[in-house]
Amino acid sequence: MASEDYSPGRGRIPLKKLFDTLSKTLFLYNFSIRSRLILYFLFLVLLPTTIISITVYNKSADIITRNVNTSIENNLNLVQDNLDQRFTSANNSMIALYLNTEFADLISSNRPTDSTGIINELAALNKILENFPANGTSGSSFVPMLYMLNRPEYTQYNFSRRVFNIDQISLKPWYLAIPAKSDFTVVGLSSLDSRFTIKFAKRLFGIRHAQLPFAGLLTIDIPVSEFSTLLDHYKPTPGSRIYIIDQTGTIAISPEEGLIGQNISTRDYFSKISPADADSGTFHSFRHVISGEKMLVSYQNIQATGWTILSFSPVSELNGELASFQRVMYVVIGICMLVSLTMALLLSENISAPIRKFIQSMSHAESGNFNIIIRYRRKDEFSYLFNRYNKLLQQIKALIDKLYVTELRKKEAELKTLQAQINPHFLYNTLDSINWLAINHNVPEISSMVTSLSDFFRYSLSKGRNIIPLRDELKQVESYLGIQQFRFQDKLEYELEDVDPRLLTECLVVKLSIQPLVENAIIHGIQQRRGKGKIRIRVTSAQEVLFVSVFDDGVGADPERLNLLLTDQQPGNQSYGIRNVHTRIQQFFGEAYGIRYYANNEDHSGLLAMIRFPVVTTWNEVIEDVDHDRSG
């Protein structure tokens, strides 16, 4: 049996798709332990259950597929056998008439020479055909007709409905298509008295002559309706249809009388019926959508006639047993899922409840409360873990108490040491005294330098604050540059470009963030070049970002190497101060801010160091930025 076959298994559940889905689902890294335990247990139960169910379903689908195809093939074989019997019965009836003594004598006798003889012969043949049994051996209704050779007078004396001259059909296509050496021929679909019939033809010879001359043609018409009940009897399902088509694709036999005579060779499914397969006489089938419904189209050739038996069966009706089995399978899987889910919930709760209790205790310990003791009554691994954890909390609490006392004593010692050190006001007063001495002795250089030094220390201390206004930071830098200019005399020149007054008074920056850049520019840029050098400081803002740029026209350096030193985890002693400033800025404002080096393209030499600050105006904004960065 060579065919594409009816295949409900095409709707099978693919195992590969199931495994791909499970593989993706098993990566549950972000799920809680309880959820993972539930899912793993469900997989453990449902995976083998599903695999077994799908395997049994697919195997059952194969068996049902083979059974359905075998059943349809057997039905078509029975239709073919029954048709062969009907055709054989028609042939036997024609042979019985042919061998009738009176009939054989009439067709074997010589042609009458006068009109009386012609009329007598016509009347005798008509009487034999009219008296021929209307029902053959198979119970079919036969309508015999005789076409005699060389009897043109029959047309003149037209009183018979059964006997004619052969010239009446000599040009008919069905007559011309009868094989020359064929004795019995199934002509095909015909019509008689406004109803469709199947016509059979048999060549007649004068059996009373030794030469057996050709005498005429005998035909029998059997109503198509007598074959329709046969097709209805062998339908695979109530919604199925069986047709028999001839070589041209015309429906010759059908239970639906309205379809008889229609040509289906133009239908799209007809192109799938291979003539080579049909000639082999084997059973074939394929699936096709007809009028929006999936149908199984089966066909088998009748080799004796060249006709084809066509069967159309709705796939939904053929899938009846498979659908019921599928429902049972879903019910079984659903029950297994409910049972496994219940067991998974109980198991996960037994394991995850102690863990949740452990996490709750750790959250209290994280907030500083070490007096929370976990109480657990079961004697399992969690009991051992909680006992050790309780002892650990007690030890941590004891160590914290001990460390607190030690730190308290250390703070007291530091306080006494600070009290013994020089008071900052003592330093300011001393510098102020030196300034007045310089003024009294008319030494303005010393007075200017001492004043800058005093301002430098005053802004550096800034009452212990780490975040100060931009104005104070720039004044501290200006004091530092004044001291350095006195030191280097004509070798150093500096410029503080005009700054927006709103930025000076409102914006907050990290203390001692600009002065190290200026110091670095003097030591590694200006001091290393020949001749006079210049340092420029520029402050701008854009899109809520404050930019502080320090330009120098010194010997320059590689900006990329300096940027790598800022982020190097083990920089050594290189650029330690600048890296410290960069780290402090990011600690306060986040990693989006800090120092970045560029080539000084404006002065065509030297280096540009740029600091990025967020535009903040209050201390609360700084705290919010720090908290946001830490939480992020």
Asked if residue 593 and residue 494 are part of one domain, the reply reads yes
Asked if residue 519 and residue 391 are part of one domain, the reply reads no
With respect to residue 306, please indicate whether it lies within any of the assigned structural domains. Answer: no
| Domain of 374, in residue numbers | 370-420
Asked if residue 613 and residue 502 are part of one domain, the reply reads yes
Asked if residue 535 and residue 616 are part of one domain, the reply reads yes
Give the helix/strand (H/E) hosting 196. strand 195-205
Asked if residue 404 and residue 513 are part of one domain, the reply reads no
In 3D space, the residue among 313, 144, 128 whose CA is nearest the CA of residue 234 turns out to be: 313
Give the model's confidence band at 400: pLDDT under 50 very low, under 70 low, under 90 confident, else very high.
Answer: confident
With respect to residue 323, please indicate whether it lies within any of the assigned structural domains. Answer: no
Asked if residue 416 and residue 518 are part of one domain, the reply reads no
> Which tens digits make up the pLDDT trace of 327-337?
887 888 788 77
What is the model's pLDDT at position 420?
A: 46
> Which tens digits make up the pLDDT trace of 405-461?
677 666 555 545 544 444 555 566 566 667 677 777 777 777 777 777 776 666 555
Mean pLDDT of the chain: 78
With respect to residue 564, please indicate whether it lies within any of the assigned structural domains. Answer: yes
What is the model's pLDDT at position 281?
A: 64
Last residue of a domain, one of 156, 190, 223: 223
Last residue of a domain, one of 379, 394, 420: 420
Asked if residue 514 and residue 411 are part of one domain, the reply reads no
Asked if residue 416 and residue 499 are part of one domain, the reply reads no
Give burial (CB, 10 Å; 0-12/13-18/19+) of 331.
exposed
With respect to residue 16, please indicate whether it lies within any of the assigned structural domains. Answer: no
Those residues with Cβ within 8 angstroms of residue 102's Cβ, 6 or more apart along the chain or in another chain: 124, 128
With respect to residue 379, please indicate whether it lies within any of the assigned structural domains. Answer: yes
> Which tens digits make up the pLDDT trace of 148-180?
888 888 877 777 788 888 888 888 888 888 887
Lowest mean pLDDT across 5-19, 298-312, 542-556:
5-19
State how many domains the chain has.
3
Asked if residue 214 and residue 115 are part of one domain, the reply reads yes
What is the model's pLDDT at position 154?
A: 81
Asked if residue 626 and residue 502 are part of one domain, the reply reads yes
Q: Using CA atoms, how far apart are residues 244 and 16, in angstroms rounded to an integer?
A: 43
Q: Please give the C-alpha separations between residue 138 and each of 77, 94, 180, 301, in angstroms, as whole numbers.
A: 19, 13, 28, 23
With respect to residue 399, please indicate whether it lies within any of the assigned structural domains. Answer: yes
With respect to residue 75, please indicate whether it lies within any of the assigned structural domains. Answer: no
Lowest mean pLDDT across 475-479, 489-493, 620-624:
620-624
Beta-bridge mates of residue 141: 135
Asked if residue 210 and residue 106 are part of one domain, the reply reads yes
When pLDDT is averaged across residues 462-477 and rounded to a whole number, the result is 80
CATH number at residue 595: 3.30.565.10
With respect to residue 364, please indicate whether it lies within any of the assigned structural domains. Answer: no
> Which tens digits make up the pLDDT trace of 42-70?
777 777 877 887 887 788 777 777 877 88
Q: Using CA atoms, how far apart are residues 155 and 106, in angstroms rounded to an integer?
A: 18
Asked if residue 615 and residue 504 are part of one domain, the reply reads yes
Q: How crowded is residue 513: how many other Cβ atoms within 10 Å of its Cβ?
A: 22
